[in-house]
Structure 1
Amino acid sequence: MRRAHRVEQVRAAEAELMGRLPEGTLMQRAAAGLATAVADLLGTVYGARVLLLVGSGDNGGDTLYAGARLAARGAGVQAVLLSERVHPAGLAELRRRGGRVVDPAHVRRPDVLVDGIVGIGGCPGLRPDAAAVLARHEGVPVVAVDVPSGVDVDTGRLDGDHVRADLTVTFGTHKVCHLVDPAAEACGTVHLVDIGLDLPEPVVEALGPDDVAGLLRLPRAFDHKYTRGVLGIRTGSPGYPGAAVLGTAAANGGLCGMVRYSGAAPEAVRAAHPEVVVGEGRVQAWLVGSGSGDDAGPGLERALQDDVPVLVDADALLHLDPAAGTERAGLVLTPHAGELASLLGVDRGRVEADQLRYAREAAQRYDAVVLLKGRHTLTVAPDGRARATTTGNAWLAVAGSGDVLGGLVGALLASGLGPFDAASVGSWLHGAAATYAGGPLNASQVARAIPSVVRALVR
């Protein structure tokens, strides 16, 4: 599991550790990890041209010491100083190892650019001089030190100019911006260097394969279809039968014991999935909304009467009453950015720019787990817990993908997982299934890949 912490948490942990270590130890650990990562990216260090963009503070010190290590291995290392106050010992070490300070206007095109402009304490946005240097070297691979300069570290927002990194080398722990979009997309690949920090509970998590395998409810020797959970589905309509077919396909993948369908597209479901029981009956969870049109409101109302967890998607989201939150069983809401904007009465652009904030706001307002669909889907609980999904690929941006996600999360709810775990595990499996299926792909291929992904996890 990847764990992300706020800047204040990281600073406190660093201060505590520095009090127990010789001076400079943490910086040398960070510099060693950074230099190794840059060397791995280059492949061949000797003769490579490395350009350091160096700001003030410890972030600049990490960059200078890493540059010194690369220079000692034969790289041609040049540094552009973007502050009058750079780390003096780091600068002296760079020069001792053969690195040079240069005027930004007279730099040959480097093989790699190391962004040490500002660290986790920096404000969003870049000064014009820093932005200008970056613009001169557009297209050169960029390694960001700790975080891409200019991003909002604690929120994942982007305000103004910022670095777009191919690789971000971070220290001690992930930060929120590494997991939460839109800043996460600017980080490129994130590599974590362990420097020995003792950290509190994270503010955002990202599940890994072992986490997902440990959370899945697997069948036991004396289980039967009812003890494994029954999911009820009220989705689809005569105009949109595919929503019902795709949702039942994902739910019917073996993660719960039985699927009941009671929506308005029974013949399409029967034809596609003979295992699905068409008709009413007891269930342990409901999936409602996608493709339901005018039936979405009544379908949601009937599902809420059963006092079981309910996954609310698409059309049914429009019929939610936030005032009723404390009177119902666990809810999972699965909006995209536009639907979340409608739920909160804000502009879609604001949601896309500040995804974690608005997902948390909706979770609290509706007393529900909110799964905000996107490149890094966010799952947020009413108490503020948050998980980011880092599986998946761009081929998931296809019609019916959300229907598959709803059926998958619904099956996990019916199996007995709590709403927060069901939503985040389902989102992880959804992305992993898309990766397994490859691309180009359609939603049916994602649904068919789910059992293979689960088998690989629990084997």
Structure 2
Amino acid sequence: MRTAYSVETVRNAERALMALLPEGTLMQRAAAGLAAACAGLLDRVYGARVVLLVGSGDNGGDALYAGARLARRGAGVTAALLSPDRTHAGGLRALRAAGGRAVPAADAAPLLAGAALVVDGIVGIGGKGGLRPDAAGLVRAVEQSGTPVVAVDLPSGVDADTGEVHGPAVRAHATVTFGAYKPGLLIDPAREHAGALRLVDIGLAPHLPPVPEAEALQHADVNALLPRPTAESDKYRRGVVGVAAGSARYPGAAVLAVAGALRGGAGAVRYVGPGTEAVVRHFPETLVSTGGPAKAGRVQAWVVGPGLGDGQEPRETVDEVLASGVPVLVDADGLRLLDHDAVRARTAPTLLTPHAGEAASLLGKPREEVESQRLASVRELAERLRATALLKGSTTLVASPDGAGPVRVNPTGTGWLATAGSGDVLSGVTGALLAAGLPPLDAASAGAYLHGLAARQAAPPPTASTVASTLPTAWRSITREP
């Protein structure tokens, strides 16, 4: 599992560790890891031209010391100094002693075109509010050159704590971060700027708290969460999920939600809605009901909302599902129709799965604000409605209703999921995991992970249907079951 900590937490851990070590040890550890990563990205170190973008902070010092290591191996290293009078003195001496040189940042543009690698040490993890004009101009020049960039700790211009990007920011091919991941490295829009991530262990772990700000599950974590049937299992032990979805206009939403539920491991699916004919035609194993949700029979969780449409009858369906005493997942049209007070009053768990536009409507704020402040938005939504919230998007995030614990970040998302009906499949597979007994945070995290992995493994360009049909393949790749 990748765990991410806030800037303040990392700074506190660094201070605690530095008090136990000789002066400069931590920077040398970081520089050694950074130099090794840079060397790995070069075809060869000897003779390679490397440009360091050096600001006034410790990130600039890391870059200078790493540059000195590369220069000692025969690289031609030039440091472009944004603040020559405030450059890390020890790092600059080390670079010059190793044969490197330094120039003002204003003279850096001609050097970029012939460089094999650029090392971004402009701003550290404490940077806020975007880059100053001189730094922004240098970043634009780097982007125009097309030279690969390695960011030191995080790309300059992104917010380490929130993942926000204010104005120009470095787009790195790789980011070498020290001691711990920072939330902004895992969360868009900043994640798009980070490239491949490499964590350098500098000894912080004993000084970090047990609960991070954010965490991203990996295969092993999801494997531990996924339910497996035993010899004593029946459909109820495996989990029966009710699906209230679809309409005359959107029958496909019902089919896709049922597909996600069946291929997400449900013991059985009970379907309620006007899409019965289409659902049974595609999935004859579905149990259908002609009455409302209360008359559908025994279920361990409900999925409500995909393709319901508008009107009094869909609203009553949502109300009836919310009145049940089992976990409920609300998606799509259900999010527009739900009574906020009814959600807050529920004693059984509720999971909301909006995309940015739906979350904006629930929060009463512009969509652009939700997209640029994804971490804050998912936390606010969960706390305001006292429900687990899964915010879909380029980075899918999951937050607990009480605001406690880390926000889960899904690492398997792909742009191929930007296709009609993919959210209905996600609702189905996540609902199946809820019915199997997973807590909402785990069900949402594992469901999003499976969903994203299936989209990556489906033959491109995938549709929602092919994502659903690839879910068993994704499941097997995680569990390694035959």
Normalised by the size of structure 1, how large is the TM-score? 0.98
Aligned to 2:302: 286
- 1:420 correspondence with 2:441: yes
Aligned to 1:86: 87
User: Are the equivalent residues in 2 in contact too, given 1:311–1:334 (CA < 8 A)?
Assistant: yes
Aligned to 1:391: 412
User: Are the equivalent residues in 2 in contact too, given 1:285–1:414 (CA < 8 A)?
Assistant: yes
Aligned to 2:281: 271
Provide the aligned C-alpha RMSD in A. 1.3
Correspondence for 2:192 among 182, 185, 188: 185
Note the alpha carbon deviations across 1:278-335, whole angstroms, 9 max, x for none. Answer: 1211100000111011343122111122211111011110122232313341111111
- 1:358 correspondence with 2:392: no
Q: Across the two proteins, how many residue pairs are aligned to each other? A: 459
Query: Cα offset for 1:87?
Result: 1.3
Q: How does 1:115-264 map to 2 (within 5 A)?
A: 115-137=120-142, 138=144, 139-197=146-204, 198=206, 199-200=208-209, 201-253=211-263, 255-264=265-274
Q: 1:158/1:254 Cα in 2 relative to 1: closer, same or farther (>3 Å)?
A: closer
Q: Distance in 2 between matches of 1:196 and 1:73?
A: 26
- 1:329 correspondence with 2:348: yes
Q: Distance in 2 between matches of 1:136 and 1:157?
A: 22
User: Are the equivalent residues in 1 in contact too, given 2:264–2:430 (CA < 8 A)?
Assistant: no
- 1:457 correspondence with 2:478: yes
4+ residue segments displaced more than 4 Å? none
- 1:339 correspondence with 2:358: yes
Query: Cα offset for 1:346?
Result: 0.8
Deviates more, 1:295-304 or 1:281-290: 295-304
Q: Distance in 1 between matches of 2:462 and 2:478?
A: 22
Q: Distance in 2 between matches of 1:60 and 1:448?
A: 49
User: Are the equivalent residues in 2 in contact too, given 1:231–1:411 (CA < 8 A)?
Assistant: yes
Q: Distance in 1 between matches of 2:45 and 2:463?
A: 43
User: Are the equivalent residues in 1 in contact too, given 2:139–2:168 (CA < 8 A)?
Assistant: no
Query: Cα offset for 1:254?
Result: 5.1
Q: Distance in 2 between matches of 1:24 and 1:309?
A: 53
Q: Distance in 2 between matches of 1:232 and 1:92?
A: 68
The residue matched to 2:235 in structure 1 has which SS? coil
User: Are the equivalent residues in 1 in contact too, given 2:240–2:270 (CA < 8 A)?
Assistant: yes
Amino acid at match of 1:82: L
Q: Distance in 2 between matches of 1:357 and 1:423?
A: 18
Structure 1 residues without counterparts, runs of 5 or longer:
none
Note the alpha carbon deviations across 1:321-355, whole angstroms, 9 max, x for none. Answer: 23231334111111111111111111111111111
Query: Cα offset for 1:181?
Result: 1.3
Aligned to 2:32: 32
Q: 1:264/1:378 Cα in 2 relative to 1: closer, same or farther (>3 Å)?
A: same
Correspondence for 1:114 among 111, 119, 122: 119
Query: Cα offset for 1:45?
Result: 1.4
Aligned to 2:466: 445
Aligned to 2:99: 98
Amino acid at match of 1:391: T
Q: Distance in 1 between matches of 2:283 and 2:243?
A: 13
Correspondence for 1:378 among 392, 397, 406: 397
Query: Cα offset for 1:124?
Result: 2.6
Q: Distance in 1 between matches of 2:269 and 2:100?
A: 66
